[in-house]
Amino acid sequence: MGKGPLLHEGKAKIIYQTEDADKLIVYYKDDTTAGDGAKRAQLSGKGPLSLKISDYFFRLLAKEGVRTHFLETLNEREMLVEKVEIIPLEVVVRNIAAGSIAKRLGLTEGKPLPRTIVEFYYKDDSLGDPLVNRYHILALGAASVEEMDKLEEEALLVNSILEPHLLERDLILVDFKLEFGRTEQGEIVLADEISPDSCRFWDRESQEKLDKDRFRRDMGGVAEAYSEVYRRLCEN
């Protein structure tokens, strides 16, 4: 599949058009950011690891009936995907209190939530991707009521698949961020990536963080943590 013009460069990925108008190439960079890009570094090998982990999860979810934009992995840094219109919402699923929700609600980090929480964040870097509710989303024209219902349903379905799958590999799925897109036919499909960049994975016994929090909190060993996640996925 030939690579065409660069369409968009984000914090961790570059999107290219292909000769097929309905397909894109996603290039995974080694760039790592936190705090809406305020903190930035290059971590050798991080891009290929994020791609391999995303490939693994997209294939797993497809087997369970979740429709995604994933088509195939082309090489260690490039993934072929279906072209979709990205919905400007981040859908965050939380099983355990960590990160912003712990600070916002005064919860003890690591405390299991009595029920899974789904949150929406408006995708706008200039605003810091603010937390929004359904009234905000309708006012912004970001999604319809029916689409919000679908986003929530799909996010909870993904959680119900990934949480037990990871637990069998001694990984706790603390929380994760998903993005979705609309196909040309108007179907909503899972897009972007699923990796330690967008998920919090903790070791089941030690609670060791095996995700981007190691970068956010200057803990070191980021690439090693991503590699450990991939090892556990592939060796079980």
**Do 77 and 44 contact (CB within 8 A), yes or no?**
no
Same structural domain, 54 and 131: no
CB contact set of 115 (below 8 Å; sequence gap of 6+) = none
Range of the domain at 94: 85-221
Residue 158 lies in a domain: yes
For the segment 141-169, what is each residue's pLDDT rounded down to a tens digit? 999 999 999 999 999 999 999 999 999 99
What are the structure tokens assigned to 46, written together?
Answer: 């991080």
**Do 35 and 100 contact (CB within 8 A), yes or no?**
no
- The total of structural domains in the chain comes to 2
* pLDDT at residue 2, as a whole number: 81
CB contact set of 62 (below 8 Å; sequence gap of 6+) = 68, 70
Same structural domain, 63 and 122: no
| pTM of the model as a whole | 0.95
Residue 56 lies in a domain: yes
Same structural domain, 8 and 21: yes
For the segment 188-203, what is each residue's pLDDT rounded down to a tens digit? 999 999 999 999 999 9
The rounded distance, in Å, linking the Cα atoms of 86 and 181 is 4
Residue 178 lies in a domain: yes
